[in-house]
Amino acid sequence: MAGIYVHVPFCKQKCTYCDFASFPREIGKAESYFACLYREIEGRAKQYPSKIIDTIYIGGGTPSVVDAKFIAGAIRQIKKCFTVKKDAEITIELNPGTVDQDKIKTYKSVGINRFSLGLQTGFDDQLKRLNRVHTAKDFLLCCNMLKGENLSADILLGLHDQDLEQVKKSVDLALAGGVKHLSVYALTPEVGTPIYTDYLNGELLSDDEVADIYDGIREYLKEKGFDRYEVSNFAKDGYYSKHNMNYWRRGEYIGVGVSASSFCDGRRFTNTFSVDEYMNAVIYNKSPEISSDVIEGDDAKFEFIMLALRTTKGLNVKEYNKLFDADFDIEYKTVLDKKMRFMERDGENLKIKDEYLYVQNDIILAFMKN
């Protein structure tokens, strides 16, 4: 089984924290871009003809900012070129300020059955400061249009003057909209983004303050019936993201479009981050890839460990031994001796203790071989 990721590199305006490949000024190229995207989909299907697709994820950028016919075209092309399971999970990211009933109707007509809404915060003053194009009211209106559908929402931690009570209210807003899945991310100020200046000026919350809010919201979501199944992801039973679970299980996926990454047959590769370079490559029958690496040996082992330990289920030692023809306990005895106080073992299952999962980087990096 494999997933497909489709990148839409357009948006209405750039958020202050955004470091993704999204270009407000290039939205006029959408029609040409999607024509190239459809062509890349066809090419990837010929390259990987035996892949059976069980998840599709349309992200960005802001997929909902472009004409819905382009999104529908991408789904139809994937279904035409690949073998897609009938019960495939098909997700689209939406900005609540760019959605209407007609778009939703079109999305549903081609089988999109999961909707990920970029809430970020339930406070309009914070949304404005982040340069978001929607309000809290827009979010609820969007949820109302999608009533009864499988809804997810994103919430950011670490905003200016944010506290736990504010985040709880943002969660309450999401739950009022019928959301069954929440991604709760700590803001990462990237170099070159407007919010990075605020970070340099000391205007954002400290790591310790964010960690405290995270711990509080983890408990709050637990009270609301949400399970944490990955460090930043929480869901009601039966509403885990299948597409993201595939990533964390080191499953295969094909990325199409600008900046999209893929992992197939042991190779990781990424497309160019330039819209023009991407379209030129596809038009002239050249690969849009700018990097390609075969992941094997110790690198493959570390990837497996790193991804598994990000989840609350953890790493299955028996699966590791079978996959790599190795003995995990012998291979990592020194690491386990040093880090076991942060972890717990139940038979063949090894995981990071709940209280340390948010700060798992140091634990995981210990498994990296120099």
Report yes or no on 98 lying in a domain.
yes
Cα(310)–Cα(72) distance, integer angstroms: 33
Closest Cα to residue 5, out of 53, 46, 73, 51? Answer: 53
Number of domains in the chain: 2
Q: The tokens 């599709």 sit on which residue?
A: 56
Whether 243 and 345 map to the same domain: the answer is: no
Cα–Cα distances in Å, from 217 out to 120, 176, 206, 224, 359? 14, 16, 17, 10, 15
Whether 81 and 223 map to the same domain: the answer is: yes
pLDDT of residue 226: 97
Domain ends where: 247, 274, 295? 247
Whether 214 and 348 map to the same domain: the answer is: no
Cα(364)–Cα(19) distance, integer angstroms: 25
Report yes or no on 271 lying in a domain.
no
Cα(24)–Cα(327) distance, integer angstroms: 50
Report yes or no on 300 lying in a domain.
no
Cα end-to-end span (Å), the chain: 32
Residue 271 in contact with residue 259, Cβ under 8 Å? yes
pLDDT of residue 191: 87
pLDDT digits (tens, 9 = 90+) for 4-31: 999 999 998 878 787 788 888 889 999 9
Q: The tokens 């270009």 sit on which residue?
A: 23
Whether 135 and 45 map to the same domain: the answer is: yes
Domain span including residue 14: 2-247
Report yes or no on 269 lying in a domain.
no
Whether 202 and 79 map to the same domain: the answer is: yes
Whether 57 and 200 map to the same domain: the answer is: yes
What is the edge-to-edge ordering of all strands in the sheet holding 83-94? 227-230, 233-235, 181-186, 150-157, 114-120, 83-94, 52-60, 2-8, 252-256, 261-264, 267-271, 289-294
Domain ends where: 203, 229, 247? 247
Going residue by residue through the chain, which has 370 residues, state the pLDDT in tens, using 9 for 90 and above.
899 999 999 998 878 787 788 888 889 999 999 999 999 999 999 999 999 999 999 999 899 999 999 999 999 999 999 999 999 999 999 999 999 999 999 999 999 999 999 999 999 999 999 889 999 999 999 999 999 999 999 999 999 989 999 999 999 999 999 999 999 999 888 888 888 888 888 888 999 999 999 999 999 999 999 999 999 999 999 999 999 999 999 999 999 999 999 999 999 999 999 999 999 999 999 999 999 999 999 999 999 999 999 999 999 999 999 999 999 999 999 999 999 999 999 999 999 999 999 888 889 999 987 4
The type of residue at 321 is N
Cα–Cα distances in Å, from 78 out to 24, 53, 114, 272? 26, 9, 17, 21
Report yes or no on 301 lying in a domain.
no
Measure CA 361 to chain center. 18
3-class state of residue 100 by DSSP: coil
305 Cβ contact partners less than 8 Å away, ≥ 6 residues apart: 315, 320, 364, 367
Asked, as a colleague might, if the bond just before 59 is cis with ω within 30 of 0, I would say no
Whether 320 and 241 map to the same domain: the answer is: no
Report yes or no on 116 lying in a domain.
yes
Whether 206 and 320 map to the same domain: the answer is: no
Tokens coding 172:
């309450």
Report yes or no on 136 lying in a domain.
yes
Whether 218 and 321 map to the same domain: the answer is: no
Whether 330 and 218 map to the same domain: the answer is: no
Report yes or no on 135 lying in a domain.
yes
Q: What is the CATH number of the domain that holds 14?
A: 3.20.20.70
Whether 213 and 317 map to the same domain: the answer is: no
Whether 239 and 348 map to the same domain: the answer is: no
pLDDT digits (tens, 9 = 90+) for 69-128: 999 999 999 999 999 999 999 999 999 999 999 999 999 999 999 999 999 999 999 999
Tokens coding 87:
């019960």
pLDDT of residue 25: 86
Domain ends where: 222, 247, 272? 247
pLDDT digits (tens, 9 = 90+) for 200-220: 888 889 999 999 999 999 999
Closest Cα to residue 253, out of 53, 49, 83? Answer: 53
- H or E, element range at 7: strand 2-8
